[in-house]
């Protein structure tokens, strides 16, 4: 799992800091320490999707889901109005379903870049 957040620098207005965590790490305490709405979460494994989803909704953050399984994902939380990027395979039968809730991409690099950019634009993105 990755956390992207803005880092204020003297020489630049801001830069994106990337923090990497495993499921066993206490990533929620790190999010609380950041106290920033300029933060987004990104799952890097299918097993991280529900944790990322729950944490993002709890802290009002944009997030990315990694090849989510429609039967395994908490669909009530998925419906919450938060900016989200969803990485799917191009032949995934649930593309239309996930498109209702967020921006669907098919390339890992685009996925990571899009989730990272949510730190700047999370409050401006509306997927209605």
**Alpha-carbon distances of 80 from 56, 106, 127, rounded to whole Å:** 10, 22, 11
Banded pLDDT at 10 (limits 50, 70, 90): very low
Rounded Cα distance, 20 and 123, in Å: 23
pTM: 0.81
Residues 1-12, mean pLDDT to the nearest whole number = 68
Residue 47 has pLDDT above 50, yes or no: yes
Q: Which residues contact 101 (CB under 8 A, 6 or more apart)?
A: 78, 79, 84, 86, 127
Residue 3 has pLDDT above 90, yes or no: no
Q: How much of the chain exceeds pLDDT 90, in percent?
A: 54
Q: By three-state DSSP, how is residue 7 classified?
A: strand
Residue 128 has pLDDT above 50, yes or no: no
Q: Which residues of 35-53 are buried (b: 16+ CB within 10 A; e: fewer)?
A: eeebbbbbbbeeebbbbbb
Q: What is the pLDDT of residue 13?
A: 53
Q: By three-state DSSP, how is residue 48 classified?
A: helix
All structural domains of the chain: 2-121 (3.40.50)
- pLDDT, one tens digit per residue, over 65-82 is 999 999 999 999 999 988
């Amino acid at each position: 799992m990755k956390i992207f957040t803005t880092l204020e620098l003297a020489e630049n207005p801001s830069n994106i800091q990337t923090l990497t965590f495993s499921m066993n790490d206490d990533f929620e305490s790190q999010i609380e320490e950041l106290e920033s709405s300029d933060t987004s979460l990104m799952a890097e494994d299918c097993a991280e999707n529900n944790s990322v989803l729950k944490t993002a909704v709890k802290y009002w953050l944009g997030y990315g889901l990694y090849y989510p399984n429609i039967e395994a994902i908490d669909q009530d939380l998925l419906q919450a109005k938060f900016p989200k990027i969803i990485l799917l395979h191009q032949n995934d039968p649930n593309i239309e379903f996930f498109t209702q809730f967020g921006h669907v991409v098919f390339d890992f690099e685009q996925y990571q870049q899009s989730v990272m950019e949510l730190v700047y634009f999370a409050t401006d993105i509306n997927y209605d």
